[in-house]
């Protein structure tokens, strides 16, 4: 089937939950992907901040092939070495004492919310059930994750959602302190918001959340599904703030494209859990865990993180120097950057796509750049040149 036939097949067969351009991609290499006509595109989306090591990485491919010849799936009825070694590595290089594996970021958020409710029930009372989330938040599209996602357009078609969720203004210390009460079981926050517009939390804000949670016995959940694992130039986004959460959700880049998520937690949270409280058939399978361990060891390397910081600084420098038309603000950290513009962000991304550059959006007026973390200066220069053309079109 040619590309036109495949696009037509998609129109007939797939649930209409995505807005896709009429392009069929066939393969990738490093920073680039290729369509069925052989055209090359510079990828500054990375599978929505997933393909940290780029496309067709030889090391990842080798681990997949080797593990596939050994054992792909066994379920969580039994132990396998890869998921245990991965858990050991995640704990050794984070605040956490324990890990729960799942298959996606939304699943990680669901698990974290459940664990927080159980913790409050065991240590306090059945009435301590409230969650606090924030404006512009995005935590996923399953019912629990959607309940702590603020955007009305995502929420309203599926209401009623889970109860006892309150939203406060992001980065407003006093509003957050007032909203966290004795009935709050957990606060969930993205240190750097991704989908909601690339808003960076202030150190004062996160410190205030930590302090107030401790005062009322609430748990603090950091959602680092998009901003964690090197994306902002440190292994975990929380490291730049000196504030530790009680639980942390992680997913997107952990296996460079294979589906995996995890909840990292302190021992006090794990202590309230028992067999049967939560589970997953596929989570932490030997294939995906072997790949994730390989990816994690590369992402946490000091030289790799230094490269991300260097490229992030260069990207920001080049964006400001480009004097792009209609730009209100450029914000972000590392290789998670949002460009707020006066016009329609989708129009810019469409014009960039026509010129061979993949970009994401983060709301109606924010163009998001989240390239693979292997990006080099030459790729940034190429992306800026295309973006200038697209915004001038």
pLDDT in tens, 249-268: 999 999 999 999 999 999 99
Q: Looking at the predicted structure, is the pLDDT value of residue 1 above 90?
A: no
pTM above 0.95, yes or no: yes
pLDDT in tens, 130-163: 999 999 999 999 999 999 999 999 999 999 999 9
Q: What tokens does 301 get?
A: 């390397």
Q: Looking at the predicted structure, is the pLDDT value of residue 213 above 90?
A: yes
The span from the CA of 153 to the CA of 136, in Å, is 12
The span from the CA of 1 to the CA of 345, in Å, is 33
How many CB atoms within 10 Å of residue 337? 22
Query: Going by C-beta distance under 8 Å and a sequence separation of 6 or more, which residues neighbour residue 109?
Result: 139, 140, 142, 144, 145, 148, 188, 223, 225, 249
Q: What tokens does 168 get?
A: 């406060």
Q: Looking at the predicted structure, is the pLDDT value of residue 388 above 90?
A: yes
Question: What whole-number percentage of the chain has pLDDT above 70?
Answer: 100
CB of 291 within 8 A of CB of 255?
Answer: yes
> Nearest-5° angle of CA 226, CA 231, CA 234?
120
Q: Looking at the predicted structure, is the pLDDT value of residue 167 above 90?
A: yes
What backbone phi and psi angles, to 5 degrees, belong to 57? -65, 125
Per-residue pLDDT averaged across 313-328, rounded?
A: 96
pLDDT in tens, 7-58: 999 999 999 999 999 999 999 999 999 999 999 999 999 999 999 999 999 9
Q: Looking at the predicted structure, is the pLDDT value of residue 192 above 90?
A: yes
The span from the CA of 167 to the CA of 225, in Å, is 20
Burial of 94 by CB count in 10 Å (0-12 exposed, 13-18 middle, 19+ buried)? buried
The span from the CA of 11 to the CA of 7, in Å, is 6
Mean pLDDT taken over the chain:
97
Higher-scoring residue by pLDDT: 366, 1: 366
pLDDT in tens, 108-134: 999 999 999 999 999 999 999 999 999
């Amino acid at each position: 089937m040619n590309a036109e036939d495949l696009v037509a097949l998609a129109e007939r067969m797939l649930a209409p939950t995505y807005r896709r351009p009429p392009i069929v991609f066939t393969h990738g290499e490093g920073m680039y992907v290729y369509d069925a006509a052989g055209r090359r595109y510079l990828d500054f989306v990375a599978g929505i901040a997933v393909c940290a090591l780029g496309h067709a990485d030889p090391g990842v491919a080798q681990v997949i092939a080797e593990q596939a010849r050994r054992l792909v799936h066994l379920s969580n009825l039994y132990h396998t070495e890869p998921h245990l070694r991965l858990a050991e590595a995640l704990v050794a290089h984070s605040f956490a004492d324990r890990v729960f594996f799942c298959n996606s970021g939304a699943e990680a958020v669901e698990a974290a919310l459940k664990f927080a409710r159980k913790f409050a029930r065991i240590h306090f009372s059945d009435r301590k059930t409230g969650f606090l989330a924030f404006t512009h938040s995005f935590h996923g599209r399953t019912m629990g994750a959607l309940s702590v996602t603020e955007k009305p357009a995502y929420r309203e078609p599926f209401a009623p959602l889970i109860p006892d969720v309150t939203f406060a203004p992001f980065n407003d210390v006093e509003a957050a302190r007032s909203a966290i009460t004795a009935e709050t079981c957990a606060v969930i926050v993205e240190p750097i918001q991704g989908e909601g517009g690339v808003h960076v939390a202030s150190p004062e804000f996160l410190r205030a959340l930590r302090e107030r949670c401790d005062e009322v016995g609430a748990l603090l959940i950091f959602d680092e599904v998009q901003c964690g694992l090197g994306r902002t130039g440190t292994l975990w986004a929380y490291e730049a703030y000196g504030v530790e959460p009680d639980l942390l959700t992680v997913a997107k880049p952990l296996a460079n494209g294979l589906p995996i998520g995890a909840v990292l937690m302190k021992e006090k949270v794990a202590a309230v859990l028992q067999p049967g409280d939560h589970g997953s058939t596929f989570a932490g399978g030997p294939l995906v865990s072997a790949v994730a361990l390989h990816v994690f060891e590369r992402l946490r390397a000091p030289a790799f993180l230094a490269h991300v910081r260097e490229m992030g600084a260069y990207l920001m420098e080049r964006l400001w120097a480009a004097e792009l038309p209609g730009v209100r603000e450029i914000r972000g950290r590392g290789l998670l950057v949002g460009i707020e513009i006066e016009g329609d962000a989708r129009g810019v991304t469409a014009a960039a796509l026509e010129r061979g550059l993949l970009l994401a959006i983060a709301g109606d007026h924010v163009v998001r750049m989240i390239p693979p973390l292997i990006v080099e200066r030459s790729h940034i220069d190429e992306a800026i040149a295309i973006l200038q053309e697209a915004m001038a079109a």
